[in-house]
């Protein structure tokens, strides 16, 4: 058995894990750091550029965010932006696109107008775009036909901007974070690939033993698990987070043959649906082709496009009466029932494209089946957390801080945008727990506005 | 100070021209008032400006649990009032004993009845819906009678639509907001400007009013309409080619925009068919007109005649073509100054007898006495 001891050990080399790796290395007096990654490279799952929408969710066009939530996401989104600017990553992995939240129909138009006034205080750059303006900025959302002669009959409005950084390859950012962490610090900052953690034990001296599938063992004073749905899997194995279950929601995308929309177009969200409403985004990894999606399909596995993890899903679901009650309540609502059924059909070959186009026409009325194709290999899994105590599906992220030197994070959207903010929270906890120095001034200067 | 939680079935962004003055301005002088709205779009509970809660609609069925989870102290409320939503009322009643509040049901308008009437006016058979409604009213009345008080818009509305409610009633009527009066702007043009604001549908029989306008010999008038039913209004006006140039259709989005539009006109119209849904309370549009000092030509009902006097502070007309035509002819013979004087008197009258400050005091006193 191989044995390595580190002051802090991070499990999971996605955007959340690497963000913490970077912050600890640069802004604390930690003496040694280790990152364990299950696969052969960083960010091969949900942080990978093809797995998510590549969006910086600042909260301006995400219509399901409250102003309070947007205040938080704005801060964390700006941290991502500042990191990239600090290392000259703009126009390499981070880009500016036009973006908008589109309201269609009387009710949504009313909502967007009011939301615009409410949120402009926080996002002064926001503009309100009426049908005339949209004809110039994003004509495909306005016209019913491909030759752009007939305007759609419903009232329409958008709030948006074309001055902000909107898009990022989170996979590339994960690599940049890890690379900078190793560059900026002269302490041991080790990354081990192909290292799947199977068990974590806390010893009597309060340190931890980490056992891997290839029979290696690591020890650490503090552990943070940023392993997506597997965070909860490992927490359950240690007896933590038993009041939570995990519902993996897979998202797929459809791609246009060529450049289609000029920027990101988000729809108004139905609050009953815990997953992002359909949107169209220019894909920075596919020459700006427009990617429509994501769909939302419950998948009985924790990792997309990887073999196995079916059994892990059932263990992590933590099935009991409370879970039944949550599903019962969710499916009792006809909106959610229809949504679940429709999203299932979006994955069925032969009919999927036709059905998806019907939905996507709310964004682009002239969209036809021959404009899009199923983006094979694109998409990921969002580990949505089920709170069994509250008997409800939690929206957004969840963190289990045991207070005993180990933290488990589940970070579905907007987890990637919040990666540096979440890492800051965990870093402060680690500093407190281990009595480390925290270079707070430098941190604020580098990463906050 | 006693504390009230007012749960409205309305969206956070609707124009709260009733709630704002009555509950947020004047009732707050007598008790602490928290107001809860719903949102169809946002995902999380929000507490805005301390006393405003916004709850995603998906939590309607477990509202109090959601409030508790967001650290709202439900024990602190003396009263919980629900507006128009009987399922929410049931939910609130379920927890009444646990949290020791008084449960109140606010009945603002008989929406289902209006819908049935509208459908009938369009020639649709509503027999089945009438039967279902009768059963629903029985059930709802039973639930309302388990509450501590019932707050209809008027006594007449209670008698017409919830006659079997036996619990104490507290009238919660629309009124004029003394703090939001718009100055009437005398315009320079010679014509007399009429204005109609509000819903337009078959039931309101607006063609009778347009018929009256089209039969006028004096053509020195204009009619402004502000309605959400713009399409309906356009279709209707198209049927009157001789006067359509004299009619302007608007869709004022906010109360301020509406009052500003009214302020530019001379006479408001609140003529409605003689149906209990219209005669059991004073239409809100009447208060909107007088808020801008604009006098109103209205249908005389048991309700309006307790407030106004014909030719003193308003004009009454029966809802017939002859009567309306006659009144319009008469109004066109009046000078702008005479018209403005009637508007001023009407506003003064409303400030005396129907203003939100007095109504809020009365409501607070009656709640305390429960």
Dump the DSSP string for A27-55.
Answer: HB--S-EEEE-SSSSSS-STTSTTTS--B
Q: Which of A64, A67, A107 sits opposite B43 (nearest CB)?
A: A64
Query: What's the whole-number mean pLDDT along residues A40-49?
Result: 93
Reported as a single tens digit per residue, the pLDDT across A160-178 is 999 999 999 999 999 999 9
Q: Which residue has the higher pLDDT, A73 or B16?
A: A73
Give yes or no for a contact between B272 and B278, defined as CB atoms under 8 angstroms apart.
yes
Residue A225 in 3-state DSSP? strand
- Dump pLDDT digits (tens) for B164-191: 999 999 999 888 888 888 777 778 888 9
Contact of B143 with B164, CB cutoff 8 Å: no
Question: Is the pLDDT confidence value at B50 over 60?
Answer: yes
pLDDT over 90 at A413, yes or no: no
Closest alpha carbon to B181 in B332, B357, B347: B347
Q: Is the pLDDT confidence value at A63 over 60?
A: yes
Would the pLDDT of A1 be above 50?
A: no
Are A383 and A246 a contacting pair, CB within 8 Å? yes
* Cβ-defined contact of B43 to A395 (cutoff 8 Å): yes
CB contact under 8 A, A68 and B13: no
Calculate the CA dihedral of residues A97, A98, A104, A106 and round it to 10 degrees: 140
Backbone angles phi, psi at A287, to 5 degrees: 55, 35
Q: Is the pLDDT of residue A315 over 90?
A: no
Distance CA B275, CA B270 (A): 13
> What tokens were used for B39?
């949102």
Is the pLDDT confidence value at A2 over 60?
Answer: no
pLDDT attached to residue A338:
87
What is the rounded CA–CA span in Å between residue B49 and residue B42?
Answer: 17
Residue B195 has pLDDT above 90, yes or no: yes
Judged by CB atoms closer than 8 Å, whether chains meet at B43 and A390 is answered as no
Query: Per-residue pLDDT for A312 more than 80?
Result: yes
Question: What was the pLDDT predicted at B17?
Answer: 65
- Going by the DSSP 8-state scheme, the letter that residue B314 receives in this structure is B
Q: What is the pTM of this model?
A: 0.82
Structural element, H or E, at residue A113:
helix A106-119
- CA B192 centroid distance within chain: 26
- CA dist., res. B40 & res. B14, Å (int): 12
Mutate to test the interface with A, among B16, B41, B65 (most CBs of A within 10 A): B41
What's the pLDDT at A90? 96
CB proximity B335 to A under 8 Å: no
Residues 6+ apart with CB under 8 A from B209: B196, B269, B271, B324
Contact yes or no for A110 and B54 at CB 8 A:
no
CA distance A368 to A144: 11
Q: How far is CA B98 from the centre of its chain?
A: 34
How far apart, in whole angstroms, are the C-alpha atoms of residue A365 and residue A209? 56
DSSP string spanning A298-344? E-SSSSTTSS--HHHHHHHHT-SHHHHHHHHHHHTSHHHHHHHHHHH
Q: Which domains does chain A have, with CATH numbers?
A: 5-97+162-447 (3.50.50.60), 98-161 (no CATH)
CA distances from A321 to A64, A238, A428, B70, B186 (A): 29, 22, 37, 24, 70
* Alpha-carbon gap, residue A72 to A68, rounded angstroms: 7
User: CA–CA separation, A441 vs A445, rounded Å?
Assistant: 6
The alpha-carbon gap from A171 to the nearest alpha carbon of chain B, in Å, equals 28
pLDDT tens digit string along B304-339? 888 999 999 999 999 999 999 999 999 999 998 899
The most confident of A32-36, A252-256, A372-376, B105-109, by mean pLDDT = A32-36
Residue A131 touches chain B, beta carbons under 8 Å: no
Mutual angle of helices B127-145 and B111-121, in 10-degree steps = 170
- Strand ranges, E, within A141-272: 156-161, 165-168, 189-192, 197-202, 208-212, 217-225, 244-251, 254-259, 263-267
pLDDT band at A34 (very low <50, low <70, confident <90, very high): very high
Buried b / exposed e along B142-178 (16+ C-beta atoms within 10 A): eebeebbbbbbbbebbbebbbeebeeebbbbbbbbbb
Q: Tens digits of per-residue pLDDT, A260-299?
A: 999 999 999 887 776 667 899 999 998 889 999 888 888 8
To the nearest whole Å, the CA of B42 is away from the closest chain A CA by: 4
Burial class (CB in 10 A: 0-12, 13-18, 19+), B356: buried
- The residues near A328 (Cβ < 8 Å, ≥ 6 apart) are none
Nearest to A413 by CA among A387, A388, A375, A380: A380
Instruction: Give the mean pLDDT of chain B.
Output: 89
Q: Tell me how close the Cα of A64 comes to any Cα of chain B, in angstroms.
A: 4
d(CA A144, CA B241): 32
In chain A, residues with a C-beta closer than 8 Å to the C-beta of B61 are: 329
- Distance CA(A126)–CA(A98), nearest Å, equals 11
Confidence band, pLDDT 50/70/90 cuts, at residue B113: confident
Task: Identify which of B42, B65, B69 has the shortest CB distance to residue A271.
Answer: B42
Give the residue-averaged pLDDT of B113-120.
Answer: 75
pLDDT value of residue B89: 96
Interface test with A, best of B13, B232, B253 (most A CBs within 10 A): B13
pLDDT at A106 over 50: yes
Report d(CA A298, CA B152) in Å as an integer.
47
Whole-Å CA distances, A120 to A126, A159, B315: 6, 10, 46
More confident site: B123 or A102 = A102
| A117–chain B Cβ distance below 8 A for any pair | no
pLDDT of res. A71: 95
Question: Does the pLDDT at position A43 exceed 90?
Answer: yes
CA A35 from chain center: how many Å? 20
Question: Which two tokens mark B194?
Answer: 């009429």
pLDDT band of residue A3 (cuts 50, 70, 90) is low
- What pLDDT is recorded for position A18? 98
The strand pairing partners of A231, in sequence order, are none
| Percent residues over pLDDT 90 in chain A | 70
Element holding A164 (H helix, E strand): none
Chain A: closest CA distance from residue B87 (Å): 15
The set of residues, in sequence order, having a beta carbon less than 8 Å from that of B51 and lying 6+ positions away, is B24, B32, B33, B34, B35
Chains A, B: CB contacts within 8 A come to 54
Residues whose CB is less than 8 angstroms from the CB of residue B60 and which lie 6 or more positions away in sequence, other chains included: B38, B85, B87, B88
State how far the Cα of B24 lies from the Cα of B177, in Å rounded to an integer: 12
**Is A107 near chain B, with CB under 8 Å?**
yes
- Residue in B closest to A108 by C-alpha: B41
Classified as helix, coil or strand, A372 is: strand
Peptide bond into A238 cis (omega under 30): no
User: Closest partner residue to A63 among B41, B56, B61, by Cβ?
Assistant: B41
| Closest by CA position to A25, among listed A219, A189, A190 | A189
**What percentage of chain B has pLDDT greater than the value 90?**
55
ipTM: 0.76
User: B57 at the A interface (CB within 8 A)?
Assistant: yes
Residue B142's SS3 state is: helix
Please tell me the distance from the alpha carbon of residue A78 to that of residue A84, in angstroms, as a whole number: 10
| pLDDT in the model for residue A342 | 87
Residue A150 tokens, joined: 């007939």
How far apart, in whole angstroms, are the C-alpha atoms of residue A132 and residue B35?
A: 38
Write the residue in B39, B43, B69 that is nearest to A390 by C-beta: B69
Mean pLDDT of A10-32: 97
Question: Please, which residues bridge with residue B218 across strands?
Answer: none
Whether residue B230 is predicted with pLDDT greater than 50 in this model: the reply is yes
* CA–CA min distance A113, chain B (Å): 10
Name which residue leads in pLDDT, A31 or B117: A31
Instruction: With H, G, I as helix, E, B as strand and everything else as coil, classify residue A143.
Output: strand
B61 three-state secondary structure: helix
């Amino acid at each position: 058995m191989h044995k390595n001891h580190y002051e802090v050990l991070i499990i999971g080399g996605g955007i959340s894990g690497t963000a913490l790796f970077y912050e600890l290395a640069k802004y604390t007096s930690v003496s040694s750091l280790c990152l364990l990654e299950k696969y052969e490279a960083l960010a091969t799952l949900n942080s990978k550029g093809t797995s998510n929408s590549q969006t910086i969710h600042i909260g301006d066009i995400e219509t399901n965010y409250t102003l309070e939530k947007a205040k938080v996401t704005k801060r964390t989104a700006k941290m991502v932006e500042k990191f990239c600017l600090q290392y000259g990553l703009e126009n390499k992995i981070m880009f500016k696109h036009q973006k908008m939240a589109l309201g269609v129909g009387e009710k949504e138009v009313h909502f967007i107008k009011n939301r615009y006034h409410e949120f402009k205080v926080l996002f002064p750059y926001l503009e309100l775009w009426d049908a005339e303006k949209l004809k110039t900025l994003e004509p495909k959302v306005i016209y019913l036909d491909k030759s752009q002669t007939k305007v759609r009959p419903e009232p329409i409005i958008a709030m948006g901007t074309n001055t902000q950084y909107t898009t990022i390859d989170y996979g590339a950012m994960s690599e940049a974070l890890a690379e900078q962490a190793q560059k900026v610090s002269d302490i041991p900052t080790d990354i081990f690939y192909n290292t799947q953690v199977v068990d974590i034990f806390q010893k009597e001296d309060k340190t931890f033993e980490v056992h891997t599938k290839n029979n290696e063992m690591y020890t650490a004073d503090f552990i943070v698990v940023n392993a997506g749905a597997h965070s909860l899997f490992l927490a359950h194995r240690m007896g933590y987070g038993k009041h939570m279950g995990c519902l993996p929601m897979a998202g797929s995308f459809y791609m246009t043959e060529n450049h289609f929309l000029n920027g990101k177009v988000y729809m108004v969200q139905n609050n009953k649906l815990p997953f992002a409403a359909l949107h169209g985004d220019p894909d920075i990894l596919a020459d700006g082709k427009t990617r429509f999606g994501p769909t939302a399909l419950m998948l009985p596995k924790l990792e997309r496009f990887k073999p196995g993890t079916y059994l892990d899903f059932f263990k992590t679901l933590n099935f009991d009466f409370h879970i039944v009650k949550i599903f019962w309540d969710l499916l009792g609502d006809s909106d959610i029932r229809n949504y679940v059924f429709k999203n299932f059909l979006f994955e069925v070959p032969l009919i999927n494209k036709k059905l998806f186009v019907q939905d996507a026409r709310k964004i682009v009325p002239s969209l036809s089946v021959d404009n899009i194709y199923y983006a094979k290999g694109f998409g990921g899994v969002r580990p949505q957390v089920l709170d069994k105590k509250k008997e409800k599906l939690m929206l957004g992220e969840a963190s289990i801080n045991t207070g005993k030197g180990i933290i488990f994070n589940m970070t579905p959207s907007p987890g990637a945008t919040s990666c540096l903010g979440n890492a800051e929270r965990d870093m402060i906890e680690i500093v407190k727990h281990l009595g480390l120095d925290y270079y707070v001034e430098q941190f604020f200067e580098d990463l906050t506005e | 100070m006693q504390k009230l939680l007012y749960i409205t079935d309305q969206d956070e962004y609707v124009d709260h021209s009733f709630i704002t003055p009555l509950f947020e301005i004047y009732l707050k002088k007598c008790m602490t008032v928290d107001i809860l709205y719903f949102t169809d779009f946002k995902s999380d509970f929000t507490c805005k400006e301390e006393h405003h809660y916004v709850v995603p609609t998906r939590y309607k069925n477990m509202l109090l649990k959601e409030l508790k989870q967001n650290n709202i102290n439900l024990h602190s409320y003396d009263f919980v009032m629900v507006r128009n939503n009987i399922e929410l009322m049931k939910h609130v009643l379920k927890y009444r004993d646990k949290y020791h509040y008084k449960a109140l049901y606010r009945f603002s308008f008989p929406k289902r009845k209006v819908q049935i009437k509208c459908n009938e006016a369009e020639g649709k058979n509503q027999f089945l819906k009438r039967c279902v409604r009768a059963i629903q009213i029985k059930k709802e009345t039973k639930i309302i009678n388990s509450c501590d008080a019932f707050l209809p818009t008027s006594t007449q509305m209670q008698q017409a639509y919830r006659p079997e409610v036996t619990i104490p009633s507290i009238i919660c009527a629309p009124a004029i907001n003394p703090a939001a009066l718009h100055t009437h702007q005398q315009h320079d043009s010679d014509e007399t400007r009429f204005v109609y604001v509000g819903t337009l549908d078959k039931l309101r029989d607006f063609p009778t009013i347009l018929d009256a306008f089209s039969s006028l010999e004096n053509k020195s008038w204009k009619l402004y309409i502000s309605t959400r039913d713009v399409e309906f209004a356009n279709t209707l006006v198209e049927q009157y080619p001789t006067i359509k140039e004299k009619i302007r259709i608007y869709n004022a989005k906010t109360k301020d925009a509406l009052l500003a539009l009214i302020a530019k006109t001379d006479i408001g119209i609140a003529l409605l068919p003689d149906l209990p849904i219209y005669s059991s309370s004073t239409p809100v549009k009447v208060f909107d007109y007088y808020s801008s000092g604009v006098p109103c030509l209205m249908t005389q009902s048991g309700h309006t005649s307790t407030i106004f006097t014909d030719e003193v502070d308003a004009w009454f007309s029966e809802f017939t073509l002859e009567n309306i035509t006659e009144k319009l002819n008469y109004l066109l013979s009046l000078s702008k100054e005479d018209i403005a004087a009637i508007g001023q008197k009407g506003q003064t009258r409303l400030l005396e007898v129907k203003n939100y400050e007095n109504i809020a005091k009365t409501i607070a006193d009656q709640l305390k006495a429960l």
